[in-house]
Structure 1
Amino acid sequence: MVDRKAIGDIGEQLAVEHLEKRGHKIRNRNYRNRTGEIDVVSSYGVYIVFTEVKARSGLIYGRPGESVDYRKIKKIRRVAEGYLQRKNIWDLQPRFDVIEVLFKGGETEINHIENAF
């Protein structure tokens, strides 16, 4: 049986490393408020980037990012709004990214979708 939590944790770590290599400054991981959670919050140039990480061990249920549906987008936006208010961030433009991490056949594929929604 595949340990979904372990896949998610490894995927999130790989996503953070991917963002850092591209110049993102990680502000928070697994930021939570009463509305929900955002996997990674980072700064990148004029942006504050809210990143949802989706990791899978195969394509049987489709691409990982396809699971970010309207309800999930709405929730992420509400959490991000609360984050900006709580941290008093008004000088950076919000951006919402999705990082897909796909583990298949001993290889890892990372797909970074900027401005996903």
Structure 2
Amino acid sequence: MGSGCINKRLIGSKYEEKAIMYLFSKGYKILEQNYLRNTGEIDIVALSPDGYLTAIEVKYRSSDRYGSPFSAVTLVKQKKIYKTLLFYLSEHNISVETRCRFDVIGIQGDGEIIHLKNAFEVC
């Protein structure tokens, strides 16, 4: 693994922690961080104040040179998050009838946090 990958992981971890602090301040209960399975990874699994089991993807962009943080959550990425959430539900004996939601937290170079609730749906 090159040093570029390590640096990206460190930067990602820093901004995931910032997102977690934001979520705590909004009344979310963090259930899991960096939930990793062979289908993909969910940055944060949380219970929202309104009772949704929420899979949260955190994306940081130092500038808009490569697009917004939200543009990085492609359809392929969305499907991976969905499949990984199915593993989470199964492993924790949670009914597939549970109200679930997919959020994205985008963090811009200046530290601004934008929380996009129900950012995508997977059919």
Same fold flag (TM > 0.5)? yes
1:71-82 matches, cutoff 5 A: 71-82=76-87
Is contact 1:46-1:92 (8 Å) kept? no
**What percent of counterpart residues are identical?**
40
Tell me the TM-score normalized by structure 1: 0.90
Would you say how many aligned residue pairs link Structure 1 and Structure 2? 113
Structure with the bigger percentage of strand: 1
State the secondary structure of the residue aligned to 1:100. strand
Deviation at 1:74, TM superposition (A): 0.6
Deviation at 1:7, TM superposition (A): 2.3
User: Is the 1:7–1:57 contact (alpha carbons within 8 Å) kept by the matching residues of 2?
Assistant: no
After the TM superposition, which residues 59-70 of structure 1 pair with which residues of structure 2 at under 5 Å, given as runs? 59-70=64-75
Q: Supply the distance in 1 between the matched residues of 2:19 and 2:51 (Cα, whole angstroms).
A: 20
Measure the CA separation in 2 of the matches of 1:97 and 1:109. Answer: 16
2:23 is the counterpart of 1:19: yes
Question: Which secondary structure state, in structure 2, belongs to the residue aligned with residue 108 of structure 1?
Answer: coil
The answer to whether the aligner puts 1:102 opposite 2:108 as a matched pair is: yes
- What residue is the counterpart of 1:29 in the other structure? 33
Structure 1 unmatched runs, 5+: none
CA-to-partner distance for each residue in 1:65-91, whole Å, 9 max, x for gaps?
101111000110000011011101127
1:116 aligns with 2:122: no
Q: Any unmatched runs of 5+ in structure 2? A: none
Moved over 6 A (4+): none
Alpha-carbon contact 1:8-1:55 (below 8 Å) kept: yes
Equivalent residue for 1:46?
A: 51
